[in-house]
Amino acid sequence: MKIFIGADHRGFSFKESVFAYLTKRGIETEDIREGELDPEDDFPQIAASAVIKVLGEDDARAILLCGSGQGMAMAANRFNGIRAAVVSDIYEAKVSRVDNDSNVLCLSADVLTRQDDEVWKNILDTWLNTHFAGAARYVRRNRQLDELS
């Protein structure tokens, strides 16, 4: 599995921590915006760059970080085949994968960086290691989501 990671200015520092954690775990990770912090960046372009890469590769996912996670999810979910979920705990991480086969994880830098690092690490580990259940109703619902795009 390959993980594309992107962040706007509010998620930039958090991205550095997440990237280091994933790399240390041996997960193939690509920062879609290497470089310096840009306080004037816009999250829609960052989300679009990441999800286009996810759609272009087999077995790829993305992790997107911004202040609330909400803006990244809104932008990412505009693309057919993307199921972006804003997640703030391990229950949501698990359900987003088991039921909805989420392929983009959106995290709130403002919320998660105020907590112990183990919180976001457990969220990442749960999301990365949980498999889609593949039940007929979940497959049908994902197909319906794609038809809405």
Q: What is the count of structural domains for the chain? A: 1
User: Which structural domain, as residue segments, surrounds residue 41?
Assistant: 2-148
Residue labelled with tokens 């390959």: 2
Q: Which residues of 83-117 are buried (b: 16+ CB within 10 A; e: fewer)?
A: bbbbbbebebbbebbbbbbbbbbbbbbeebbeeee
Render each residue's pLDDT in the chain as its tens digit; 149 residues. 999 999 999 999 999 999 999 999 999 999 998 778 888 888 999 999 999 999 999 999 999 999 999 999 999 999 999 999 999 999 999 999 999 999 999 999 999 999 999 999 999 999 999 999 999 999 999 999 888 86
Which CATH number belongs to the domain containing residue 20 in this structure?
A: 3.40.1400.10
Q: Count CB neighbours of 120 within 10 A.
A: 23
The pair of structure tokens assigned to 91 is 């229950």
Q: Is 106 a known active-site residue?
A: no
**Catalytic residue among 18, 51, 62, 66, which?**
66
* CA-CA-CA-CA dihedral for 66, 58, 141, 91, to nearest 10: -50
Q: What is the pTM of this model?
A: 0.95
Structure tokens at 43: 């999250």
Cβ atoms 101, 131 nearer than 8 A: no
Residues near 35 by beta carbon (within 8 Å), at least 6 away in sequence: none
DSSP 147: H
Widest CA span in the chain: 45
